[in-house]
Structure 1
Amino acid sequence: MLELYQFELSHYVEKIRLILDYKGLEYRKINVTPGIGQIELFQMSGQRQVPVLKDGSEIIADSTAIAEYLDKKYPEKPLLPSDLKQKGVCLQMEQWADESIGLNARKALIGALSKNQTFRTAVLPNSTPDILKNVVSAIPSDFLSVLGLGVGMGPDAVKTAEAELKRSLTALCFILMEQPYLLGDTPTLADFAVAGLTMYVKFPKGPYLDIPQGLKDQGVPGIADVGTFEPFFTWRDKLYTDFRRAFSSAGYPGASGSAPTSINID
């Protein structure tokens, strides 16, 4: 069985989960323990980032490389259009989603967490002790903003990221006005990349992710709760309904459990 090494809250991993579900492939999720698990991941794949896919003796890192591998190894329900021009547009849209939407969504989410105490504690795992949740909630927003400056995610960077996300979502709304998918009548890699990488902008509301209930259908204020972008999120909801398999702690297909586990290297 395919094994997907992941963090549940990674939007690049979500892109791959969408693709696996669309293709109807059975897979086992292996939650990587931050820190020690990433060292083991490096020993296996030569890098520390998720997602990493293991298919027998094949080890593939990076979401784009994984998508390419899956489409070649499991060609049923292809991700790329057969028309060469459409294929080029699809690949360009995926790159745009990875490099623009994905990075800006991360900055915008960090900005939202620094401003909103309730949202900040909702990101914490359900198993987090109440005393720790209270400590996280009590951290002053100004202090978090100062910390953000040190890693290039201060208020100005967040503001720029939010503005770029708004332009991207506006463009997507225009594209989807008269067609069901980004490149026409059939879903492609572009659709799953855009859907997965907007996860931080607004978390899916359905039973798809093993995340705290308080995060579902919530996202970046000023974007997730603005009617202007509702057509996009309605489109994304339908994509999830049509293709994403529901999560169940008791019986999600291929799940290895919701708690982080260290990874075993063959």
Structure 2
Amino acid sequence: MNRLYHFPLSPFCRKVRLTLAEKKIEVELVEERYWEESQDFMRRNPAGKVPVLRMGSRFMADSAAICEYLEETQPSPPLLPGSAEKRHEARRLVAWFDDKFYREVTVKLLGERVFRKLMGTGYPDSTLVKEGAKAIKFHLDYMAWLLEQRRWLAGDSMTLADFAAAGHLSCLDYISDVDWDRSEAVKDWYAKVKSRPAFRSILADQVPGFPPSRQYADLDF
């Protein structure tokens, strides 16, 4: 059995989970409190980060590398476009969300509101929370601009870029930190992603002490 060591509110784990589910690769989910740095987990990934995917006897780390591996070894359905130019655009947007969006928004909202308590590192920094709440508006507007020109974020077909974005936004939606009324285009895009069978297990996620927002699992939000 394939096994994914993950944490439910990790956007990087969610990107891999969506990719696995879209490609109909069965996997056992093993929740990993990676910040505790257990010896077993550090042997699987000395970087001490989730996700880690075990396939057979092989352990693979880093969400981008895992998704690329799955795309190369399980090419159907494709999650990267056919041309080099379009693949670059999809990869650019994956990096946008997993780097820029993560640093400017996810860390400052999810990190302060949830992970500080989980990790026992003190109380939320209100300044960082305000910065994250301001930054997400810019990112939602950028997504809206992209979606005015395209059916999906990177073009006319769904790609890893959509899963990267949905990974982050679904985590923030869990704690009700996304203003879906800011852009009808972004809301419609998320509704399309959220309605896919690959999303079902993510909508069932529960983190003790942090109940999901009212609309989190609602497909007609």
Question: What range is the shorter-chain TM-score in?
Answer: 0.7 to 0.9
Q: Is the 8 A contact 1:101 1:198 kept in 2?
A: no
Task: Give the Å deviation of 1:93.
Answer: 0.7
- Give the aligned length: 202
* Aligned position for 1:90: 90
Q: TM-score, normalised by structure 1?
A: 0.66
Q: 1:18 to 1:108 in 2, by over 3 A?
A: same
Q: Which has the higher contact order (CA 8 A, sep 6+)?
A: 1
Q: TM-score, normalised by structure 2?
A: 0.79
Task: Give the Å deviation of 1:47.
Answer: 2.5
Deviations 1:49-86 (A, max 9, x none): 11000111221111111111111111111221111111
Q: Is the 8 A contact 1:106 1:200 kept in 2?
A: no
Deviations 1:180-203 (A, max 9, x none): 211222111111111112223213
Match of 2:8, SS state, is coil
RMSD: 3.0
Task: Give the Å deviation of 1:106.
Answer: 2.6
* Aligned position for 1:166: 137
Q: Is the 8 A contact 1:102 1:198 kept in 2?
A: no
**Residue 192 of structure 2 is aligned to residue 238 of structure 1:** yes
Query: Percent identity at matched positions?
Result: 28
Match of 1:228, SS state, is coil
Q: 1:6 to 1:35 in 2, by over 3 A?
A: same
Larger radius of gyration: 1
Task: Give the Å deviation of 1:225.
Answer: 3.7
Q: 1:36 to 1:227 in 2, by over 3 A?
A: closer
Supply the distance in 2 between the matched residues of 1:163 and 1:231 (Cα, whole angstroms): 20
Q: Is the 8 A contact 2:11 2:164 kept in 1?
A: no
Structure 2: give runs of 5+ residues left out of the alignment: 209-221
Q: 1:226 to 1:5 in 2, by over 3 A?
A: closer
- Aligned mate of 2:167, from 196, 203, 212: 196
Match of 2:173, SS state, is coil
Q: Is the 8 A contact 1:60 1:66 kept in 2?
A: yes
Supply the distance in 2 between the matched residues of 1:176 and 1:228 (Cα, whole angstroms): 14
Match of 2:28, SS state, is strand
Supply the distance in 1 between the matched residues of 2:99 and 2:155 (Cα, whole angstroms): 23
**Residue 146 of structure 2 is aligned to residue 175 of structure 1:** yes
**Residue 73 of structure 2 is aligned to residue 73 of structure 1:** yes
* Aligned position for 2:99: 99
**For residues 1-266 of structure 1, what are the structure 2 equivalents within 5 Å?**
1-33=1-33, 38-103=38-103, 104-111=105-112, 147-148=123-124, 154-203=125-174, 218-220=175-177, 224-225=178-179, 227-247=181-201
Task: Give the Å deviation of 1:161.
Answer: 2.5
Match of 1:53, SS state, is strand
